[in-house]
């Protein structure tokens, strides 16, 4: 499962030129469900959404979560997050879960977020509909969370496998 998380000042979703939902201050989250996702993927994504620190607290950057600030979430189902683009010009969506199955998992995600946070702070689009999503990024801050990549990747400095890059002030703001 993938969640493309964007910190927003405001965001809205429209279907057929009608507003479905909108939020002020919070996260707009695009949710992509992969064909082999299960309950552990769902739990991982929910925990990350609710705990990831994307806002500063005074002079401490990356110190507060959406829950800490009592902000809202706008979740949008998006099967295209699992597009494969390695061959040709046309994206391949074979890694995405079928619409019928993914709708059940997506609804579980929304219900669990409402249970684990506050139901009046959780909003979503319309599953399977053609939607227009308006986002006013804050930062901009955009983070991809992938339940299949649960172990953090480490990058080597100058290709030397014995040296692992440590966070610095310039890349951790």
- pLDDT tens-digit map of 3-20: 999 999 999 999 999 999
* pLDDT tier, 153 (very low <50, low <70, confident <90, very high otherwise): low
Which SS3 state, helix, strand or coil, does residue 104 take?
helix
**Which neighbouring-strand residues pair with 132?**
14
Can you tell me the mean pLDDT for 148-162?
A: 59
Global confidence as pTM: 0.86
Separation between Cα atoms, residue 134 and residue 77, nearest integer Å: 15
Q: What CATH number is attached to the domain comprising 71?
A: 3.50.80.10
Strand 18-32 and strand 72-77: the pairing is parallel
Q: pLDDT tens digits, residue range 52-81?
A: 999 999 999 999 999 999 999 999 999 999
Could you tell me the end-to-end alpha-carbon distance of the chain, in angstroms, rounded to an integer? 27
Separation between Cα atoms, residue 63 and residue 31, nearest integer Å: 24
Q: pLDDT tens digits, residue range 85-132?
A: 999 999 999 999 999 999 999 999 999 999 999 999 999 999 999 999
Can you tell me the mean pLDDT for 26-40?
A: 97
**pLDDT at residue number 83:** 95
Q: How many domains does the chain have?
A: 1
**pLDDT at residue number 168:** 44
**pLDDT at residue number 26:** 98
Separation between Cα atoms, residue 95 and residue 115, nearest integer Å: 29
Which SS3 state, helix, strand or coil, does residue 14 take?
strand
* pLDDT tier, 30 (very low <50, low <70, confident <90, very high otherwise): very high
Which residues form the domain of 132? 2-172
Separation between Cα atoms, residue 40 and residue 72, nearest integer Å: 24
* pLDDT tier, 163 (very low <50, low <70, confident <90, very high otherwise): very low
Under 8 Å between Cβ of 11 and 135: yes
């Amino acid at each position: 499962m993938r969640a493309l998380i964007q910190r927003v000042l405001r965001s809205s979703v429209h279907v057929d030129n009608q507003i479905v939902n909108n939020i002020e201050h919070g996260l707009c989250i695009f949710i992509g469900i992969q064909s082999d996702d299960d309950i552990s993927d769902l739990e991982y994504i929910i925990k990350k959404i609710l705990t990831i620190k994307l806002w500063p607290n005074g002079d401490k950057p990356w110190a507060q979560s959406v829950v800490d600030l009592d902000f809202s979430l706008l979740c949008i189902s998006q099967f295209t997050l699992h597009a494969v683009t390695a061959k040709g010009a046309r994206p391949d969506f074979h890694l995405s879960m079928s619409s019928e199955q993914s709708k059940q998992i997506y609804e579980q995600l929304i219900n669990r977020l409402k249970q684990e946070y506050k139901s009046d702070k959780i909003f979503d689009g319309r599953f399977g509909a053609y939607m227009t999503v308006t986002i006013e990024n804050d930062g901009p801050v955009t983070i991809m969370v992938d339940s299949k990549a649960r172990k953090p990747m480490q990058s080597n400095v100058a290709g030397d496998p014995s040296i692992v890059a440590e966070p610095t002030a310039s890349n951790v703001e």
